[in-house]
Amino acid sequence: MTNWLDYLPTLLQGVKITLSITGAGLLLGLVIALVLTWILERRVPVLAQLTEGYLLLLTGTPLLVQIFLVYYGPAQFDWMKNSWAWTYFREPMFCAILALGMNAGAYTCRLFKGALDAVPRGETLACQALGMNGWQTLSVKLRHAGRRVIPAYSNEVVLVLKGSSLASTISIMEIMGLAQRLNGQTYDTLAVFGMAGAIYLALNGLLTFLFRLLERRALVFQTQG
């Protein structure tokens, strides 16, 4: 049996792609979450109901199904293939990031909304008394809710990183994609996927450590403030 470490150089080639998908998905998810949270906070007519439906759909269905729908779904429509959007939707990387971002946006919105609901109403009234608009009020409340959001959001980041492994199902050669290819070549399943799991474990451990540092800094900042 081949030494487990022999597979490490090949699997490490997928780390950059894994981190790229994760980072882009988190960024897109953060933008989506902020917009949806604002809609829910402001109780925008119709949009608030549509947002609730979006959250129910994205949090109630598996990420793998969402990836398949985003990647394979548009190809079923001729008008999509003839449109400018097909340039993007035919790319597996774009579809993986879009699906991951939409999913992360729904869960992150739930986190933000829960943290905002826990902020005392007096702070909202104070912002309104100072003449702040909706975005400014939301920004102030998010800063006060940050202490509650960071631990939960760190878990979401870890979940998104692990969820990026599903990009391998649409032929993206990130860590899991390379592991599947290696396994098909060597049939050394335990060693290949064991090493892939170790890489994910190391990445998640690093992310968790960084968020713990961020959480401590936020606590110090909040105490000083």
Residue 74: DSSP 8-state: G
pTM assigned to the model: 0.88
φ and ψ of 132, to 5 deg: -75, 145
C-alpha 28 chain-centroid distance = 8
| HSE (side-chain half, CA atoms, 13 Å) at 188 | 16
> What structural domains does the chain harbor?
4-224 (1.10.3720.10)
- The reported pLDDT for the residue numbered 13 is 95
Asked whether the beta carbons of 192 and 53 are under 8 A apart, the reply is no
Helix extents (H) in the chain: 8-12, 15-42, 47-60, 63-72, 78-81, 86-89, 92-117, 121-129, 134-163, 175-186, 189-224
For tokens 């631990």, what's the residue? Answer: 151
Q: Over its length of 225 residues, how does the chain's per-residue pLDDT go in tens digits?
A: 467 788 999 999 999 999 999 999 999 999 999 999 989 988 889 999 999 999 999 999 999 999 999 999 999 999 999 999 999 999 999 999 999 999 999 999 999 888 888 777 777 777 777 777 777 776 777 777 777 788 888 899 999 999 999 999 999 999 999 999 999 999 999 999 999 999 999 999 999 999 888 877 766 555 555
Question: Closest by alpha carbon to 13, among 149, 204, 130, 172?
Answer: 172
CB contact set of 43 (below 8 Å; sequence gap of 6+):
none
